[in-house]
Structure 1
Amino acid sequence: MSDSEIYSVVIGTAGHIDHGKSSIVRHLTGIDPDRLPEEKNRGLTIDLGFAPMVLPSGERVGLIDVPGHERFIKNMVAGASGIDLVLLVVAADDSVMPQTREHLDIMTLLGVERGMIVVNKIDLVDPDFVELVVEEVRELVRGTFLEGAEAYRVSAQSGRGISELRDALDREIHRLPPRDAAGIFRMPIQRVFSAKGHGTVVTGIPVTGSVGLGDTLEILPIGESGRVRGLQAYRVTVERARAGHSTAINLSDVDFHDVHRGMVACEPGYFRSSDMIEARVRVLPHLKVPLRHQMPIRFHTGTVETVGRLFLLESKTVAPGEETFAQFRLAEPIVVAAGDRFVFRQESPMLTLGGGEVLDRSEWRLKLGKEYVLRALERKQEALGSKSDFVASIVHETPLRLADLAGVARRASLPESDVREILQELESRGEIIPARVPGRWFSREGVELANKRIRGVLEQCFADDPLRIFVNKPEVRERARLEGDFFERVLVHLDAVGRIQLERGGRVSLPDRKLDLSKNERFCYELLKEEFAKQPFNPPALEALADAHQRSVSVLEKMRQLLVDQEIFVRVAADVVLHEEALEGAKNRLRELFAAEGAFTASRAKDVLETSRKFAIPLLEYLDSIKFTRRLRELRELVEA
């Protein structure tokens, strides 16, 4: 059998204990779903039973039989998580019972949208009573996904009505789209065992993607990896298994003692476990009491069951029938993806409380009543069901960080090729902006927020010091509270679009930055340029200029620093400033000296520059620092030579 003969839809049963679910499965498939000796001895289903069913159309689908007893609800949930269409089985001699209601609640919470009503044991009561039971079931399912569903009357004991049920299943199944095998492979593990001569075998129903012979899979959360040595779908050997197939995978290099139900087999690098889950929660309407903030719960999703606490994020209580955002903090890490359905239950007495959809893994503990948290969760909820919107929500989730292709693909659990197309589409719509480095983007929101912060820092610095014309990058970054790589990239982008100005030496300014000098400041500014140009290697002392022109030394100091900032002057030492033209002149004279005489002493350089040691020594040390000259004991030579 090839995988093309399998219709990737899974049918499941639901209903109270001893209402005949397993018997119906046996009639439909020819296989006894009760595999455990205890199940056969006690006559009740304890764990999940899997059986392939051949439809009248010739295609093969999977059928999951779930336990009906209250004590085995955790196993029922593990099976229900993989179901596309449910058969709600009700015994005609018993009618609606507690697990009938609870199973219907669980199927609804897990997002099952299609199903059929099956009234079994019709041979045990008269026809009028059968119709009363049908009406009672219709009343039960009013307002649920089963409202309006067909009701089929059967006897699993005699086989009456089974043929009609099988034909109806064939019709109903083909109204369902088969599960999409695209995406990254992920399979919640139902069973694990060691097959003699083969090693570890894990079974389950993949929820996304496909897997082939020779592929490598990772078992999470333990992190063990192994190669796929063998595959079966519905007990038949295949070369490839995909979402919606009841699948057995033989793995090399994985110790079956380390693996158990609730773990996940998946493509490496795309999923990781977490013990904190963000979710949209729906409370069952018929509960007697509201949910409480921080209440203990038992959490079920996929095949995993664990304990934890429910942390409400909008209010301290939630009434029956209402919805809210919440965070689950669990006792152990589990693997989930956005859109996964879950159920949570009360520990004692055992009672289903509600369920919902996973929005994301949490990186940190969320607090009650934080508006920005609720807005972020609303965006995540709105993005469910759309790959494009979900990718966009990931990029916008952390606006002050760069989005990279590989990282977004991992967060979205999507192939990089799909994510690249989505990011290119978002870029064409202007929602994200390329970061001038391949495979990395800014969100538009992030650019605007960074621009606001950076310009705010610059404007404040310039207001504090009206003569300041730039701010060094480290100061801007610290005051703007921006992460390093993002900060560097966004500076380049903002400079390119003219919103800030990057200058040499890691300096940041505003493109429209203009100085409004007073008359006195303007005089001192021009005086310094003129006097320092006249005496290039013997700059005048500020005190002497102040006395000669009746000016303030402090104003002259400010104007000299301004000229340094503007790179008209150069500070070669803490107390020595030269005109930039003097520095270039000094370089030219020393080139000529070296060409004529070779290595030279500080004294010889002093003579050539016609200056004193006061200025010659700091100048030579500065030239050493910028790698123009190199000191060799008492001599210097030109590096560029």
Structure 2
Amino acid sequence: MDERHYLVGTAGHVDHGKTQLIRALSGMDTDRLKEEKQRGISIELGFAHMLLPSGRQVGMIDVPGHERFVRQMLAGASGMDIVLLVIAADEGIMPQTQEHLDILTLLGIPRGIVVLNKTDLVDEDWFELMAEEVREKLKKTAFNQAQICRVSAQTGEGIDELRKTIDDLLSEVESKKSTGPVRMPIDRVFSIQGFGTVVTGTLHSGTMELGQELAIEPSHLIAKVRSLQVYNNKVSSAGAGQRVAVNLAGVDVSEVDRGSVIVKPKTFKVGKILDLKITNLPSAEKPLVQRQRVRFHLGTTEVLGRIHLLEQETIPPGEEGFAQILLEEPVLAAPGDRFVLRFYSPTHTIAGGKILSVAEFKLKRFKESVLDQMRVKDQGDPLDLLEREMNEPRSVADLAVRLHVNSADLEDNLNSLKESERLEIWMEDEVCLYWGKASAEAWRSKLIGVVRAHEEEYPLRGGISREELKTRLGITWTHRRWQMILEQGDARNFYRISGSKVRTNEGVQLPPEVIKRLDGLRAIWQNVKLMPPELGTVAETCGIPKAEIQEYAAYLCEQGEWVSITGFFFRSDDIQQAKLSLLEVLKLKGEVGVAEVRELWETSRKYTVPLLEHFDQKRLTQRKGDKRTLY
């Protein structure tokens, strides 16, 4: 079953059967107000949910079709993943259908299905005629490639096929991100006796959990999640894309306005000036002009404001340009958010576009440096752009050069990424290095994969050398940065560093045949004392290829079982015993010669001399002529 969450909504002219269609798909009635039932039209947003053939449970939102209630339609459309454009087969595309189409295009709704409803009222010839007319009128819209489904919500004709079409289309839609900070525009606020304030909305990002402390913006109120419901069921957490009802503790219902946004505290910006890229609708009758007063719609928010054009005197119909909007009230916004502009009076949709950033002050018009900054912001969400540049650890100075911005301008975005857990901070001496969390995790996964593969191929080597690892990973950083990042990774317990080697935390499990060979070497050395044989002579006896015998010896040395002295390998226990016996003789006699030591250790001069030189180097003894004394 798909664990992702989606929202399917309707759009279309009043009385074309949107509410009845949702009832047919879900079995739920979204008209909840007495006035709605009396008048037979949706006034407020309605919500339902349905189970698709794949097992996905999706939320459904029914928006009003009457032109007087477009504000409610905008509030609902902002969270949709798929929209069902409902057109009555007996009437075709009507004025409100066109405005809804414009809004959906401006909001960038990713996918849509055209639903020709009320087919029970028309004959086959009329339906074919109407379908052809709809295809023609949708050619220059976001629905030009949309599938047309034939449906009668009244009789149930085509409902099962529509469910399957929705299911198939959702497979192509990217779900909202349950990672990152919580963000939920509020579309309903009410109070329940005994529980207090309840708000509802579509969770745009993040995961909301019981007991979580959240902010209500732009009022800067802090509230705690007392209880959560998803599809009328109590839950302990809710993910992005789900319709959520939240019972809030710590705020009164009178303090929360519809249009507010619930977010993780101190994560998103609130402001009255926004940098925009505006598109004037081709169907608009007039150009957008400087200082024009408009109704600004963002999510569930509607605020009055004035347009401040930055690169043109006007924006003609069908064209776009950079601008700011100077709002009469603050709003919460993030780069990449889609907005809609409606004419102040009489109200109708005229333009829309993308938010580039929340600004601190009004910008100067026709200034090339200002327009350059707007073009950089327009390339994408500044946080996404910044995150892409942090595909490896970089300093603020590095990032400023790569993004063509001032270092000071990066601080807020870096803080936002940090608070939303999208970056990691490393150090190079006293300089902070910023690394996108996803890139850092992918890099670590690759590093650990290389180390593990090396351990499996060469189980006796105790890890891979730092330099070989650097080469295998294709690292082009400075040597200092590589060493410092590598050592900080060890300090953070991502892997282990032992001297010049990097190992996995788990280490390597020696294969049975390797253990058998090691035991063979141990058995031989158990009996040779201080007269060890040449490695090459015992390799065949232990079943070890001559090319690998040094590796086995190095392993036993690394484990502390053997000691290497001028090409000879002795057992550590035998060296310790030799040391103790030598100390005992020196304390008794004061000095000894090579011959005496040779007899003491019952070995040959071949081994005695290197061993004595070893103890000289360890400052246990010192040579005076042909004799040794205590150091």
Q: TM-score, normalised by structure 2?
A: 0.64
On the 8 A contact 1:229/1:252 being kept in 2, the answer is yes
Secondary structure of residue in 2 paired with 1:356: strand
Secondary structure of residue in 2 paired with 1:16: coil
CA 1:381–1:435: 2 relative to 1, 3 Å: farther
Secondary structure of residue in 1 paired with 2:71: helix
For residues 204-225 of structure 1, what are the alpha-carbon distances to aligned partners after superposition, in whole Å with 9 as ceiling and x for unaligned? 0111111111110111111111
Q: What is the CA-CA distance between 1:166 and the residue it aligns to? A: 1.3
CA 1:94–1:177: 2 relative to 1, 3 Å: same
Percent of pairs with identical residues: 45
CA 1:12–1:32: 2 relative to 1, 3 Å: same
On the 8 A contact 2:110/2:173 being kept in 1, the answer is no
Paired residue type of 1:401: A
Q: What is the CA-CA distance between 1:7 and the residue it aligns to? A: 3.7
Aligned equivalent of 2:118: 121
Aligned equivalent of 1:186: 183
Please tell me whether residue 157 in structure 1 is matched to residue 154 in structure 2. yes
For residues 553-573 of structure 1, what are the alpha-carbon distances to aligned partners after superposition, in whole Å with 9 as ceiling and x for unaligned? xxxxxxxxxxxxxxxxxxxxx
On the 8 A contact 1:200/1:252 being kept in 2, the answer is yes
Q: What is the CA-CA distance between 1:31 and the residue it aligns to? A: 0.7
CA 1:38–1:6: 2 relative to 1, 3 Å: farther
Distance 2:2 2:196 in 1: 28
Q: What is the CA-CA distance between 1:169 and the residue it aligns to? A: 1.2
Aligned equivalent of 2:267: 270
Q: What is the CA-CA distance between 1:198 and the residue it aligns to? A: 1.5
On the 8 A contact 1:262/1:304 being kept in 2, the answer is yes
Secondary structure of residue in 2 paired with 1:159: coil
Aligned equivalent of 1:577: none
CA 1:172–1:134: 2 relative to 1, 3 Å: same
Q: What is the CA-CA distance between 1:359 and the residue it aligns to? A: 0.5
Distance 1:385 1:28 in 2: 40
Distance 2:112 2:44 in 1: 22
On the 8 A contact 2:52/2:167 being kept in 1, the answer is yes
Please tell me whether residue 420 in structure 1 is matched to residue 424 in structure 2. yes
For residues 168-195 of structure 1, what are the alpha-carbon distances to aligned partners after superposition, in whole Å with 9 as ceiling and x for unaligned? 1112112223222111111111111112
Please tell me whether residue 77 in structure 1 is matched to residue 81 in structure 2. no
On the 8 A contact 1:219/1:225 being kept in 2, the answer is yes
On the 8 A contact 2:181/2:420 being kept in 1, the answer is no
Please tell me whether residue 234 in structure 1 is matched to residue 231 in structure 2. yes
For residues 370-421 of structure 1, what are the alpha-carbon distances to aligned partners after superposition, in whole Å with 9 as ceiling and x for unaligned? 11111001111113387243686996586153855xx434445x64542227
Please tell me whether residue 320 in structure 1 is matched to residue 331 in structure 2. no
Aligned equivalent of 1:288: 285
Secondary structure of residue in 1 paired with 2:185: strand
Q: 2:163 aligns with which of 151, 161, 166?
A: 166
On the 8 A contact 1:271/1:410 being kept in 2, the answer is no
Secondary structure of residue in 1 paired with 2:98: helix
Secondary structure of residue in 1 paired with 2:238: strand
Q: 2:331 aligns with which of 330, 334, 339?
A: 334
On the 8 A contact 1:7/1:61 being kept in 2, the answer is no
Secondary structure of residue in 1 paired with 2:126: helix
Aligned equivalent of 2:198: 201
Unaligned ranges ≥5, structure 2: 390-395, 436-631
On the 8 A contact 2:218/2:261 being kept in 1, the answer is yes
Paired residue type of 1:94: E
Q: 1:44 aligns with which of 22, 38, 41?
A: 41
Aligned residues: 425
CA 1:438–1:283: 2 relative to 1, 3 Å: same
Aligned equivalent of 2:413: 408
Secondary structure of residue in 1 paired with 2:376: helix
On the 8 A contact 2:423/2:434 being kept in 1, the answer is no
Distance 2:383 2:414 in 1: 14
Aligned equivalent of 2:7: 10
Aligned equivalent of 2:430: 436
Distance 1:63 1:164 in 2: 17
Distance 2:409 2:348 in 1: 45
On the 8 A contact 1:221/1:272 being kept in 2, the answer is no
On the 8 A contact 1:20/1:91 being kept in 2, the answer is yes
Q: What is the CA-CA distance between 1:56 and the residue it aligns to? A: 1.7
For residues 467-525 of structure 1, what are the alpha-carbon distances to aligned partners after superposition, in whole Å with 9 as ceiling and x for unaligned? xxxxxxxxxxxxxxxxxxxxxxxxxxxxxxxxxxxxxxxxxxxxxxxxxxxxxxxxxxx
Distance 1:340 1:369 in 2: 25
| Aligned Cα root-mean-square deviation (Å) | 2.3
Instruction: Provide runs of 4+ in structure 1 moved above 6 Å.
Output: none
On the 8 A contact 1:7/1:60 being kept in 2, the answer is no
**Equivalent runs, 1:387-402 vs 2, <5 Å:** 387-389=384-386, 399=406, 401=408
CA 1:387–1:129: 2 relative to 1, 3 Å: same
User: 10-19 or 139-148: which moved more?
Assistant: 139-148
Paired residue type of 2:269: R
Q: What is the CA-CA distance between 1:355 and the residue it aligns to? A: 0.6
Q: What is the CA-CA distance between 1:340 and the residue it aligns to? A: 0.4
Please tell me whether residue 27 in structure 1 is matched to residue 21 in structure 2. no
Q: 1:298 aligns with which of 295, 299, 312?
A: 295
Distance 2:429 2:269 in 1: 27
Please tell me whether residue 361 in structure 1 is matched to residue 358 in structure 2. yes
Q: TM-score, normalised by structure 1?
A: 0.63
Unaligned ranges ≥5, structure 1: 428-433, 442-641
Distance 2:8 2:169 in 1: 11
Paired residue type of 2:327: L
Distance 2:199 2:360 in 1: 30
Secondary structure of residue in 2 paired with 1:44: coil
Please tell me whether residue 133 in structure 1 is matched to residue 130 in structure 2. yes
Secondary structure of residue in 2 paired with 1:383: coil
Q: What is the CA-CA distance between 1:93 and the residue it aligns to? A: 1.1
On the 8 A contact 1:101/1:140 being kept in 2, the answer is no
For residues 274-315 of structure 1, what are the alpha-carbon distances to aligned partners after superposition, in whole Å with 9 as ceiling and x for unaligned? 111111111101222211111010000100001111111111
Aligned equivalent of 2:585: none
